[in-house]
Each structure stands twice: as structure tokens, then as C-alpha cells.
């Protein structure tokens, strides 16, 4: 497991710009998905599965998801969202900070 983490960290450090572009894109997509789901909830239309909303947060879109939750008041009463999304944001913040420290010149 330790070797996998080191390899992943090395890959991210080598491709720092692509990593930050990925994070920006996935966070924008997360916010849009939360907004779309909120809109569909108001209309009683087909909804985006909760697993997909949490999944987008876990794969890097935690900030976009949290902003969607707070600004749109969406999924703020569901424990799995209230716990998972902020924890994912903490994890992602640690990763981003480590990449920034390891790649500064």
C-alpha cells in the first residue's frame, strides 16, 4: 500500500498542471450536478442517484459538492452527505497542500 501511495504521489507531482486542471473541472461538474439535482427535486423529475453525487465529491469534486450543498441548500439534511463531503474536502486539501509543497521551486 505504501508503494502505491508513493507512486500515485509521484505521478501527481510530475503532472501537477494536469492535476489542477482536473480538480477545477471535476469541481465545476460537481456543482452543476448538485444544481441540476436540486432543480429536478423541485420539479419532481428524475433525480441524479445519491451514489453519483457522493462519488463526484470523492473523486476530487468535494469543494464543488460542498458549495452546491451550502449555496443551494441541497442534501444538507442527509447524514451521508454532511459527513462524507467535508471529509473528502479535508482529504483533498491535504493532497493539494502536499503537491504544492513538493512542487514549489
Among 72, 68, 43, 45, residue whose Cα is nearest residue 57: 68
**CA–CA–CA angle 75, 76, 80 (5° rounding):** 70
Read off the C-alpha cell for 22: 482536473
pTM: 0.87
Contact 89, 66 (CB under 8 A): yes
57-85 per-position pLDDT tens digit: 999 999 999 999 999 999 999 999 999 99
- At residue 8, the pLDDT reads 78
Domains of the chain, by residue range, sit at 2-103
Element (H, E) at 102: helix 79-103
* Phi, psi of 104, deg, nearest 5: -75, 150
Q: Average pLDDT in the 15-41 region? A: 95
The pLDDT-based confidence of 89 (bands split at 50, 70, 90) is very high
Amino acid at each position: 500500500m505504501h508503494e502505491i501511495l508513493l507512486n500515485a504521489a509521484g505521478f501527481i507531482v510530475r503532472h501537477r498542471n494536469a492535476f489542477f486542471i482536473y480538480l477545477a473541472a471535476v469541481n465545476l461538474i460537481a456543482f452543476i450536478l448538485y444544481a441540476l439535482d436540486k432543480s429536478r427535486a423541485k420539479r419532481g423529475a428524475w433525480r441524479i442517484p445519491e451514489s453519483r453525487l457522493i462519488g463526484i465529491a470523492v473523486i476530487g469534486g468535494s469543494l464543488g459538492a460542498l458549495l452546491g450543498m451550502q449555496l443551494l441548500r441541497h442534501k444538507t439534511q442527509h447524514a451521508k452527505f454532511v459527513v462524507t463531503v467535508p471529509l473528502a474536502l479535508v482529504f483533498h486539501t491535504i493532497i493539494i497542500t502536499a503537491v504544492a509543497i513538493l512542487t514549489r521551486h
